[in-house]
Amino acid sequence: MSRSISLFFSYAHEDEALRDELAKHLSIMRRQGVISDWYDRDITAGSEWADAIDDNLNTADIILLLVSPDFIASDYCYDVEMTRALERHTAKEAIVIPVILRPTRWQNAPFSKLQALPKNAKPVTTWPDQDEAFLYIAEAIYKVAEMQAKKPAPSPSSAPTPTPTPVTPSPAPVAATVNYNIPTIRRLLTAVFDDETLDIFCFDYYRDVRDSFSQGMSRTAKIQRLIEYCERNLAFETLLQRVEQENPAQYERFKPQLTA
């Protein structure tokens, strides 16, 4: 990785024990310099706690929302930290990942359109083996950190910075005459992306497609949405250029069959 990815935990203090367990599963990433994580226990004596939280929330690359009944009930977690996190996510300054710790009704919350962890958004405490749930979460975070490490570090900010909605460049006229092999493109996308990285890719480049995803939608269905978008907008050339940037090795593997 080119740089260490900063990670911010937004959680209710009632969930501190679960937060600590998650942190243990991220330890290898911390030791290897993949991530540097922060939570409010790291505030030094004499520091203004609100300022310290704001500073770290406003500079984090990845923000974890540790969702539980207490998180939803906390005015500070829900109204302050979550709101600011989603502002930064919308401005493409950070990636927000909901982590469902304990059963609670969250499906209509502002973050409900985001890909939640662990698998199938099944609350950690309902898994027969919680270590398996935390391992799944840690592996997903590692994949997101890999993608974030390829990007420039976010600049500190105290308010969201408006950014234009990503627009797919119009392809050159010759692109309309190219016959793309859709089944091969589908296999390429399946080889390059898992659920989490596909969500991030579409959020970065195809916001309309990402906004059409629903909680629990399969990766196959998401890829089909992306392919249909590219068919409608004659955007396969740009799509393949971006996929090549994400994973040159897989792109080269499929390249000979991408066009008919």
Reading across the β-sheet that carries 95-100, which strands appear in turn?
A: 35-38, 5-10, 62-67, 95-100
pLDDT for position 54: 77
* 196 pLDDT more than 80: yes
* 136 pLDDT more than 50: yes
Rounded to two decimals, the pTM is 0.66
Supply 228's token pair.
């249909």
pLDDT digits (tens, 9 = 90+) for 99-117: 999 999 998 899 998 889 9
* 183 pLDDT more than 60: yes
Buried b (16+ CB within 10 A) or exposed e, 28-41: ebeeeebbebbbbe
Residue 216: band (very low, low, confident or very high) from pLDDT cuts 50, 70, 90: confident
Supply 123's token pair.
């609350």
pLDDT for position 213: 86
Kindly state the average pLDDT of the residues 202-218. Answer: 84
pLDDT for position 110: 93
pLDDT digits (tens, 9 = 90+) for 244-258: 988 999 999 999 999
Do the Cβ atoms of 139 and 26 come closer than 8 Å?
Answer: no
pLDDT digits (tens, 9 = 90+) for 11-63: 999 999 999 999 999 999 989 888 886 554 443 334 444 666 778 889 899 99
Kindly state the average pLDDT of the residues 143-157. Answer: 70
pLDDT for position 167: 52
Task: Give 8's strand partners.
Answer: 38, 63
Angstrom CA distances, 34 to 4, 52, 56, stand at: 5, 22, 17
pLDDT for position 42: 40
The percentage of the chain sitting over the pLDDT mark of 70, rounded to a whole number, equals: 83
pLDDT for position 114: 87
Angle of helix 130-149 relative to helix 195-205, nearest 10 degrees, comes to: 30
Supply 29's token pair.
């990433």
Distance CA 221, CA 116 (A): 17
Supply 87's token pair.
């502002």
Q: Which residue has the higher pLDDT, 155 or 19?
A: 19
Grouping H, G, I as helix, E, B as strand and the rest as coil, residue 38 is strand
pLDDT for position 3: 77
pLDDT for position 105: 95
Kindly state the average pLDDT of the residues 71-88. Answer: 93
Distance CA 181, CA 188 (A): 11
Mean pLDDT of the chain, nearest integer: 84
Q: Which residue has the higher pLDDT, 229 or 148?
A: 229
pLDDT for position 46: 40
